[in-house]
Amino acid sequence: MELELWHIWLLLAVGLFVIEIFISNFVSACYGIASLITGIVSYLGFLIPEQLLVLITCSAICLLLLKPYITKHSISKRYQPNNDHKNLIGKEAIVMEEINDRKKTGRVVLSGSTWKAKSQFGEIIAKDSFVKVLNIDYSVIIVKTI
């Protein structure tokens, strides 16, 4: 038995489906579907340039149709770190570096993390003082002395 081109397309399709089982990113499934369709086209007797055109077209259509599903179910979209620090407002923190807005210095420890800090009215707050968090502006905490 001689190995024909359509056999190769079908073996490629099976191989891509097996890869999809282990990777599950839907891209190899798209290429597997395109290889399967190309194998059928090859069996029907179309030439290699036509087969390649079918492969490219089917791959593009499959990827475009599955793109909304892929982006909706991808891990990177589902996992978003918690950037909601509004629950830290009103809590107490300790100054670990003198807060001086003129020198642009100041760090506090809040809930186990260090934050860049500014004072509410530009006053200097000494190291080891306790402060209350009034607002969070991106990565800078606005504080006042207690």
* Tens digit of each residue's pLDDT (9 = 90 or more) over 32-41: 999 999 999 9
CB environment 15-26: b (16+ within 10 A), e (fewer): ebbebbeeeeeb
Q: What are the tokens at 20?
A: 């999809």
pLDDT number for residue 74? 63
Cα four-point dihedral sign 72, 78, 81, 84:
positive
Q: Give the model's confidence band at 145: pLDDT under 50 very low, under 70 low, under 90 confident, else very high.
A: very high
Q: pLDDT averaged over the chain?
A: 88
Q: How far apart are CA 115 and CA 95, in angstroms?
A: 10
Q: How many helices (H) and strands (E) does the chain have?
A: 4, 5
pLDDT digits (tens, 9 = 90+) for 68-113: 877 776 655 444 555 567 788 999 999 999 999 899 999 999 888 8
